Structure 1
């Protein structure tokens, strides 16, 4: 089943778009707590790619990754399927990090809606291959939106 996460942040859609679509912006909030994101390539166009690494840096996340035989740093690739500044961004993520599971593409759509006092961010997330991994993804994306909300509240 498709999951939807919504959060209102205290920045206008242009600022949220900038934080979501630039290497500097992504590096400030993208990673879930306990991870760091480093952007290596970004081509913001339909069919363009975002390549980045995410590294576990907090002890709990390091332990989790080691428990499941996953590397502490993983390279991730997203391909943009829709780019409509500053309203909508959609991308597929290559899911190639799940042990004993064949790689596959996973779609996320982000809608930015101007509201009084900021922007309503609506993330629509396709399910992953099972409920456990889908739950982990939704929890991670929820944490990311909390990071984005904290970042925009500081401005």
Structure 2
């Protein structure tokens, strides 16, 4: 039986970004296969979506794939596969306003699987969209930092995507 290295904390991590985009454009990135595949995953990783059912209780199943040499080396050193199946369950969807999901954290060697809850709020502000992402902290400070760096990297992909 595997055990977690630290007791899960109830704290959260928040990311606040504004993009020169429309609500339709940003919403589509979270709720369509092509949109999700175009930006999800930190730099050096890609995703392949197998199922996306954007409704409360619906699933998003995808593979997270290490694709850059540095990430491939890190995954090998950590004893983790280069491609990992991942899933999240949508817990709420209010079109172009808010979405929530539970992400299964079942890919860390030696850690009992658990869920991380995330809520994303969208707000149009003129010709921009403010997006606030709030996620549960992970099981340890180290993994919370890694997850935060991953989200920062993903959000930076969106910044590049929306540069006009």
TM-score (norm 1): 0.97
The match for 1:109 is 119
User: Would you identify which runs of 4 or more consecutive aligned residues in structure 1 move more than 4 Å?
Assistant: none
The match for 1:12 is 22
TM-superposed CA distance for 1:14, in Å, is 1.4
Distance 2:39 2:85 in 1: 17
The match for 2:92 is 82
Question: Which of 56, 69, 81 pairs up with 1:59?
Answer: 69
Distance 1:152 1:39 in 2: 22
Range with bigger deviation, 79-88 or 116-125: 116-125
Larger Rg: 2
Give the 3-state SS of the residue equivalent to 2:101 in structure 1.
strand
Matched, 1:99 2:95: no
Distance 1:117 1:61 in 2: 36
TM-superposed CA distance for 1:116, in Å, is 2.6
Deviation per CA, 1:30-85, whole angstroms, max 9, x where unpaired?
12100111100011110000000010010100011011100000010000001110
Unaligned runs of 5+ in 2: 1-10
Question: Which of 31, 46, 67 pairs up with 2:56?
Answer: 46
Distance 2:157 2:125 in 1: 19
TM-superposed CA distance for 1:153, in Å, is 2.0
Give the 3-state SS of the residue equivalent to 1:153 in structure 2.
coil
TM-superposed CA distance for 1:89, in Å, is 0.8
TM-score (norm 2): 0.91
Deviation per CA, 1:3-22, whole angstroms, max 9, x where unpaired?
10011111111110001110
Paired residue total: 154
Give the 3-state SS of the residue equivalent to 2:163 in structure 1.
helix
The match for 2:163 is 153
Alignment RMSD: 0.9
TM-superposed CA distance for 1:93, in Å, is 0.4
